[in-house]
Structure 1
Amino acid sequence: MVQTIDSIHIDHQQLTDNSLNTILIVDKDQTILYCNKSFLELFEASEEDVLNKSVCCFIPSYQHKMCEELLVEMFTKQVTIEPKDMKMKKNSGEIIEVEMMCTPYFIEGNISAQIIMRSMTSRKVTEKLLCDSEKLASIGQLAAGIAHEIKNPLTSVKGFIQLLKESYPHHYLDMMESELNNALNTLHNLLQVSRPDLPDEPLVPIDVSMELSSLLPLFQEKLYSIKIEMDIKDSGIFIVGKKNLLLKAFFNLIKNAIEAIEGNGKIKIKHFFQDGWIHIKLSDTGKGIPPENVEMLGTPFLSTKTNGTGLGLTQVYRAIKEHEGIILVDSILGKGTTFHIQIPVKYSPHL
């Protein structure tokens, strides 16, 4: 037997109570007759805080008039009012942004207003994340362009030095060529780091110890007050991964460690192989991370820096997760932070 909608008893109370949308029912006097669980959770309130109260209690005073006009229009015309963006006020006084729609709701022949709301917080965060990601991509493209333009004349200068050495050998020319090679290597690494992420970046064998060492010249101007100590063991053991993605992750980790140190300090980078995993430990003597923030690291826009966005660590966590790795964090306020990264080895000429 095929059941029709008319033959099925639907518990409307249960539907609205468990709806993901936030629902209120108010009468012509703007008194709240009903609220669902989603409303109580979003507004951090109890039923006693809400029922039989004016809906204006949850709306900032500067939006009272707008709300009243919407309700009057709905009650007068008995039509659904299209969704509008509004500010609402939690029980704690915190202001939030919601998308609100108002529609007629009949109770025993009397018309009421059903107000359906949806929090816009996650949407706003996503929009900002996309906007900031576009800005970061633009900055990366600009850096790559500048590095490319500088690299070309330096390569020419290197060629002329090599020609001069053939006719006029001199140790000064050897020193110049050596410094030019350092500059060109730095530009090469900058081009690697600033290159935008490619969803189809090929998997290649990577010696993480070499890549860590190659990044340090990018921070040369910071290393007068900050000492970097390298403890590299088990070099020559490869992982398989996306080289550009991992380079960016380690670049962001070192950058964060440097920025966490005020004045003089030390950064220690350890690399070793154990039980089928490459381990990278990066420790700094910076200001540390509050305990309540440690578990939230990697969340976009979570940052202890004044102008930070947290997007650098978001990229780190995404890159390591994509390589089936693990990140452990140990931090003590006022003493420093250690990031312990573990990446499984899937390729090695030594294993």
Structure 2
Amino acid sequence: MTGIMPDQINQTIGEQEEMYQNIIEYSLETIVIHVDYNILYINESGTDFFRAPKQAIIGGNILSVFQPSSHDMIKKRIQKAMTEGVLSPLIEEKIIRADGTVVETELYCRPVTYGNRKVMQSVFRDISVRKEAEKMLKNREKLASVGQIAAGIVHEVKNPLTAVKGFLQLLKESHSHPYLQTMENELDKALMTLQNLLQVSKPDLQDEPLIPIDFCKELQSLMLLFQDKLYNVEVEMDLRNPGSRILGKKNLYLKAFFNLIKNALEAIHEKGKIKISHYCDNQWVYIKVADTGVGVPEEKLSMLGTPFFSSKSDGTGLGLTQVYTTIHEHGGHISVESRLGEGTTFSIRLPISH
């Protein structure tokens, strides 16, 4: 240390502390300093992450950002880390932001020295985009697996049914009986169901070309097909950003949105309302179809889009399967929210064509 004055040492330490503070303050990850669950500090990224100014966050309780069911577990992790002086393992938790939205995060905490105090530093990382990508991949893999099974079933069942229909037609030519026509009608329904299942499971069988589609125009045209069903239903069309185009197979898309609107109407048993919205943001087109119908139980939402799962007593579920398959095959994303007795909203995001 010869030749280095105390003032120089203090200056060097001060510069290092300032550099460390700047690294923390402008880190891309959310960093929160707290002791006894009381928040002492939050960095700049944290204010964006929690959607609140620093003065509204500092002084608050760190537990308040977690869902109540996680409070006991978070307390135990903090206490263990403080007692043992070790880094707590990385975990995934849902965080409640100041505006009430919930976001998926990774987080860990470790004890550090803040001033002259031993405190806890918690680091949050937003993983909602990653979680959404994992969910989309899982859904695509599920649809692909179901599609392979469905295609096999169709071929195994369709051939004998077609043979039965042929012999039934021959029987009608030599014998007249009203039951024969009923049998043929039911066979036609079964064959049509199998054909729909094949189209859903193998959408690439349709050699329709990709063309630019303006959904503002197409959604208005689709609603004209339902005029006879709108006596007790109010329809609100909020179609912004006309002229924005999606590149895709037009007939597949029209069939998908026809199915969505049809489901929305069928969910309203008496009077109700349907709202269809369209807007663009950051190279994506967003389309929502919302109804005030009977709704779907929360435990069944994850099953929507699966063949032969339907909340309707006479439904096959193939309509929604076609919707999900079409959206995923075009690189889009679909999600659903529903409450029993209040209604259902399907939210779709599609890439804008260039």
After TM superposition, the score normalised by the length of structure 2 is 0.51
Distance, in Å, in 2 between the alignment partners of 1:25 and 1:194 is 52
In the alignment, is the contact (CA less than 8 A) between 1:31 and 1:55 conserved in 2?
yes
What's the counterpart of residue 193 of structure 1? 199
Q: Which residue of structure 2 lines up, in the alignment, with residue 271 of structure 1? A: none
Look up the SS of the partner of 2:158 in the other structure: helix
2:275 aligns to what SS in structure 1?
coil
Aligned residue type for 1:83: L
Kindly provide the CA deviation profile for residues 216-249 of structure 1, in whole angstroms up to 9, marking residues without a partner as x: xxxxxxx9x879xxxxxxxxxxxxx99xx76653
Which one of the candidate residues 20, 23, 36 is aligned to 2:28?
Answer: 20
Gaps of 5+ in 2: 1-11, 212-225, 231-246, 306-319, 333-352
Q: Which structure carries more helix by proportion?
A: 2
* Alignment of 1:33 onto 2:40: yes
Q: Give the alignment of 1:124-135 within 5 angstroms.
A: 124-135=131-142
Shift of 1:290: 4.9
Aligned residue type for 2:253: A
1:261 aligns to what SS in structure 2?
helix
- Summarize deviations over 1:246-287 as a string: whole Å, max 9, x none: 6653432231232233499xxxxxxxxxxxxxxxxxxxxx95
Deviation at 1:34, TM superposition (A): 1.8
SS of 2:52's partner is: coil
CA shift, 1:114, in A, is: 1.6
Q: Post-superposition shift, 1:46?
A: 1.3
Q: For 1:202 and 1:147, locate their aligned partners in 2 and report how far apart those are by CA, in whole Å.
A: 14
- Which residue does the alignment assign to 1:216? none
Spell out the pairing of 1:188-227 with structure 2 (5 A cutoff). Answer: 189-196=195-202, 204=207
Distance 1:205 1:88, change over 3 A: closer
Matching residue's letter, 2:262: I
Q: Does 1:289 align with 2:289?
A: no
- Which of 260, 264, 269 in structure 2 is aligned with 1:256? 260
Structure 1: distance between partners of 2:64 and 2:127:
20
Partners of 2:191 and 2:97 lie apart in 1 by: 55
CA offsets per residue over residues 142-182 of structure 1, 9 Å max, x none? 554453344212332455478889x9799x9xx99x98997
Q: Is the 8 A contact 1:253 1:316 kept in 2?
A: no
- Identity rate, percent: 24
2:89 aligns to what SS in structure 1?
strand
Alignment of 1:90 with 2:97, yes or no, is yes
Residues 315 and 14 of structure 1: is their aligned pair in 2 closer, same or farther, counting only changes over 3 Å? farther
Distance 1:126 1:300 in 2: 19
Q: Which residue of 2 aligns with 1:77?
A: 84
- Displacement of 1:23 in angstroms is 1.1
TM-score, length-scaled by structure 1? 0.51
Q: Which amino acid aligns with 2:45?
A: S
The CA deviation at 1:115 is 0.6
- Whichever residue aligns with residue 58 of structure 1, its letter is V
* 1:69–1:261 distance in 2 versus 1, CA, 3 Å: closer
Counterpart Cα distance in 1 of 2:170 and 2:76: 82
Once the 2 structures are TM-superposed, how far is the Cα of residue 101 of structure 1 from its aligned partner? Answer: 0.3
Within a 5 Å distance, the mapping from 1:50-65 to structure 2 comes to 50-59=57-66, 63-65=70-72
Q: How many residue pairs were aligned?
A: 256
Q: Retained in 2: the 8 A contact 1:96–1:121? A: yes
**1:25, CA displacement in angstroms?**
1.5
Does the CA-based 8 Å contact 1:154-1:180 persist in structure 2? no
Structure 1: distance between partners of 2:116 and 2:91:
27
Change (3 A) 1:187 1:298: farther
Contact 2:31 2:121 in 1 (8 A): yes
Q: Does 2:111 correspond to 1:104?
A: yes
Change in CA separation of 1:12 and 1:32 when aligned onto 2, cut-off 3 Å:
same
Corresponding residue number in structure 1 for 2:73: 66
